[in-house]
Every structure is written in C-alpha cells, then in structure tokens.
C-alpha cells in the first residue's frame, strides 16, 4: 500500500495511491482513518511531504563506501562509526517532490545530493528489541539529504550545511510492507544515473537504529529516521539541474535545483 499527503484548493488530506489514482482517506494515516469513495487522478493534486515529523532523526554516516569516498574526495579522515549514534535534521528544510532545492546565493559549494531510505514511525514505541523494531514502522519513504560541503567542513554544526530551507526533500509517498534491508536506491541527475546502492549494505540496520534510539527515546507517530546514503554523491548540483531519488515501490522524489540570486 502507498500513502500520500495532498493539497487541493487549500484542503490537506491523506490518500491511498494506486498507479495514477488517489483514493481520499478521512483522518490521519497515523490514527484511525477511513477509506472514502472519492477517487482523483494524482495529477489533479499537489503532493505534500508525507508527514511533518515531531522529531527528525538522521543516521548520517551509515555506509562504508560513502565514508571512504568522502575521505578521498575531501581529504578527510572520518572513521566508520562504531555505534548507531543518531543525529538530527530540521523541519524548516523539508520540501515535497516537485519543489525546488534552492542553493543560497552565498554558498561556496559544492552542493551535493545524498539519496536516502527513510523509515516513518507509525506507532509510539519505547524499548524495542532489534527483533521487534520494525513493528513501530508504518512504512518507508525517500529523502535527499542535500549538503553544502564547504559549510559542512567549516561550521561548528551542520545547521546551514544540511538544514538550509529546501535542503531536505522528502517523499513522494510512504510505502508499506517493504523489507528496508533489501531495497535498491537510485539517484539520477538530469536523467542520468549518478549513484545506485543496496540498502543491505547499511553499517547499522534500520532495526538496529530503531532499537538503539528506543532505549533512550520514545518514538512517536510521524517521526522519521533517515538511514544514510552510500557511495559518491556527484555530480555537484547546479542551477537548472533536476535530481531524482528513486526506489521502485516508493516512487520518485524529483526536485529541480535553482540558485538564489544575490
């Protein structure tokens, strides 16, 4: 099943997506909802981010080949993480599929994509074992952890490097019933495949991250956990590009790139 969040003439609602058709749902997918008889073509609706997370978790480094590539490319010496210590991103930066990634006018660059699998929490959870961890997950969506590499290197925190407005495209839909460790994520820039990886190569599984987080934190419906990216994140993004993060069951998160005028 695939859930989306939509807007039509100022009205916001959840829908079940089948091919090009959306069946309107009454209520929230994080609560008791009802299926209605209203069906519309997807093209008649504006697709929104699939949820507004109470807490926005992000694994950061979670694939060996990405860390190795980054060290080579940036002359850094980042070690592989030894524990599933999670980080955070910020809601102000979230945009939906179709919305522009805006590179700030004063960005020295490069600005790069990081296509990620995202677990969407469906049920309040605390102290889950790895075995039970996925029981709190509603489904999976995609994220693009857009990163300004100069700021990432120079600033004391990742605030503007990772959280400038529009730097966190998320969507298009939430797909249920997937095995998060057996998916292929593809990133295309201007229609050409730039990166492709299997989620089975995560250093720490989705199960592990959820279990670790839930030892100290209550996970809430709508929380999202971005699970990291693998490999190189080139070519650099520039004004006029289109970047896509693709997983066949979830769909395509597609965003144009523009550069803000000074």
Contact residues: a copy of itself, CB under 8 A: 52, 54-55, 57, 60, 81, 83, 85-93, 104, 126, 155-157, 159-160, 163-165, 213, 215-220, 223
Instruction: Give burial (CB, 10 Å; 0-12/13-18/19+) of 77.
Output: exposed
What φ, ψ does residue 214 adopt, rounded to 5°?
-70, -5
Q: Closest CB to a copy of itself among 24 and 223?
A: 223
Q: Closest CB to a copy of itself among 54 and 235?
A: 54
Q: Closest CB to a copy of itself among 24 and 114?
A: 114
Alpha-helical segments (H) within 92-235: 149-154, 159-163, 206-216
Q: Closest CB to a copy of itself among 154 and 193?
A: 154
Give the bridge partners for 256, in sequence order: 242
Residue among 137, 122, 134, 116 nearest 207 (CA): 134
Q: Give min distance, CB of 149 to a copy of itself, in A.
A: 15
Q: Give min distance, CB of 253 to a copy of itself, in A.
A: 21
**What does DSSP say about strands 251-259 and 137-144: parallel, antiparallel, or unpaired?**
unpaired
**The two structure tokens encoding residue 203:** 């250093």
Q: Give min distance, CB of 46 to a copy of itself, in A.
A: 19
Q: Give min distance, CB of 5 to a copy of itself, in A.
A: 16
- Count of residues for the chain? 262
Q: Give min distance, CB of 188 to a copy of itself, in A.
A: 27
Give the bridge partners for 132, in sequence order: none
Q: Closest CB to a copy of itself among 125 and 185?
A: 125
């Amino acid at each position: 099943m695939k859930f989306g969040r939509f807007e039509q003439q100022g009205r916001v609602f959840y829908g079940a997506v089948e091919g090009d058709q959306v069946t309107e749902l009454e209520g929230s997918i994080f609560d008791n909802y009802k299926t209605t008889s209203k069906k519309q073509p997807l093209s008649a609706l504006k697709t929104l981010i699939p949820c507004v997370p109470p807490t926005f978790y992000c694994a950061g480094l979670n694939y060996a080949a990405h860390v190795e590539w980054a060290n080579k490319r940036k002359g850094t010496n980042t070690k592989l993480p030894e524990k599933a210590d999670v980080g955070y991103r910020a809601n102000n930066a979230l945009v939906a599929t179709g919305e522009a990634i805006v590179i700030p006018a004063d960005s020295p660059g490069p600005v790069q994509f990081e296509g990620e699998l995202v677990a969407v929490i469906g049920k309040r959870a605390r102290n889950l074992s790895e075995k039970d961890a996925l029981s709190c997950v509603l489904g999976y969506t995609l994220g693009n952890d857009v990163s300004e590499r100069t700021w990432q290197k120079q600033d004391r925190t990742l605030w503007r490097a990772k959280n400038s407005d529009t730097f966190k495209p998320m969507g298009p839909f939430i797909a249920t019933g997937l095995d998060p460790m057996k998916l292929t994520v593809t990133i295309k820039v201007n229609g050409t495949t730039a990166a492709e990886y299997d989620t089975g190569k995560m250093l720490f599984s989705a199960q592990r991250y959820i279990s670790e987080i839930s030892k100290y934190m209550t996970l809430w419906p709508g929380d999202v956990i971005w699970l990291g990216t693998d490999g190189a994140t080139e070519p650099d993004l520039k004004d006029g590009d289109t970047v896509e993060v693709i997983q066949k069951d979830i769909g395509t998160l597609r965003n144009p790139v523009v550069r803000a005028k000074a």
